[in-house]
């Protein structure tokens, strides 16, 4: 069993492609003192993505990197890793980053890249997870925070939240219900890393309890 991180405030890098509501929820948790972290940089692969403006408004360093400017994924990721190292990032949160992560990235931040996916993995991987859930007819879906590995949405699971699927749901209404829970669990999962409580045993994530005497008001979530 390996401990992924020692306790301490996270030096977070966030990668996002779009709207940025998960990014906002993480920022809010930091501002409220619920998550011990500092966002060192927000990187987007989409020019003009709303998340870039959201980060800039909060005074967070932003960077747009166009993958099409590179001959291949490896060169693109090398540049990303360079920028993340420069910003002294020690853990990465993918927050609506619609791109598969390759070996360069995975080696540089082994077990320290997290993703949030809008389904109860291992069900409904990939795009349009909420639509897949509605069309399949499951009665419950939800969201998953997981450690990123070489597969698609296949890495070790850190935290999940369950939401009901109603008969009259469509992709939009289910997405909304799931998103609320995404905002609720992503920062909580990150805080477990800040507390040094996350261990990996094969592909199982084990969350250690905090010893009673070390529990302080600010460490209780």
Enumerate binding residues for ligand GAR (CB under 6 A): 16, 18-22, 95-96, 116-118, 129, 179, 182
Q: How far is the CB of 84 from ligand GAR (least distance, A)?
A: 19
207: phi then psi, degrees, rounded to nearest 5:
-105, 115
> In whole angstroms, what is the distance from residue 178 CA to residue 172 CA?
10
Query: Which of residues 49 and 197 has its CB atom nearest to ligand GAR in the complex?
Result: 49
CB of 116 to ligand GAR, least distance (A): 5
Closer residue to ligand GAR (CB): 20 or 155: 20
- Measured from the CB atom, the residue of 23 and 197 that comes closer to ligand GAR is 23
Closest approach of ligand GAR to the CB of residue 71, in Å: 25
Active site (catalytic) residues: 117
**Whose CA is closest to 195, among 210, 176, 205, 177?**
210
CB atoms within 10 A of CB 160: 17
Q: Kindly provide the b/e burial profile for residues 69-99, where b requires at least 16 CB atoms within 10 angstroms of the residue's own CB.
A: eeeebeebbebbbebbeebebbbbbbbbbee
Nearer to ligand GAR, 17 or 34 (CB): 17
- Of 114, 89, 107, the residue nearest 10 (C-alpha): 89
Least distance between ligand GAR and beta carbon 22 (Å): 3
């Amino acid at each position: 069993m390996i401990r992924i991180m020692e306790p301490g405030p996270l030096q977070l890098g966030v990668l996002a492609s779009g709207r940025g509501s998960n990014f906002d929820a993480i920022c809010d948790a930091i501002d409220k003192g619920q998550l011990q972290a500092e966002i060192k940089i927000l990187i987007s692969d989409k020019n003009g993505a709303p998340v870039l403006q959201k980060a800039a408004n909060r005074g967070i360093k932003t960077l747009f990197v166009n993958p099409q400017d590179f001959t291949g994924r490896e060169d693109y990721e090398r540049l990303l890793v360079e920028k993340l190292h420069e910003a002294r990032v020690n853990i990465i949160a993918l927050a609506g980053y619609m791109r598969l992560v390759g070996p360069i990235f995975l080696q540089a931040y082994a077990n320290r890249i997290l993703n949030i996916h809008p389904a109860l993995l291992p069900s409904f991987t990939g795009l349009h997870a909420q639509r897949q859930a509605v069309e399949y007819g499951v009665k419950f879906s939800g969201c998953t925070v997981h450690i990123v590995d070489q597969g698609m949405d296949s890495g070790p699971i850190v935290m999940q939240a369950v939401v009901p699927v109603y008969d009259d749901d469509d992709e939009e209404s289910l997405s909304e219900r799931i998103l609320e829970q995404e905002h609720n669990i992503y920062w909580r999962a990150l805080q477990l890393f800040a507390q040094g409580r996350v261990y990996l045993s094969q592909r199982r994530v084990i969350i250690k309890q905090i010893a009673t005497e070390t529990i302080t008001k600010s460490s209780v979530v």
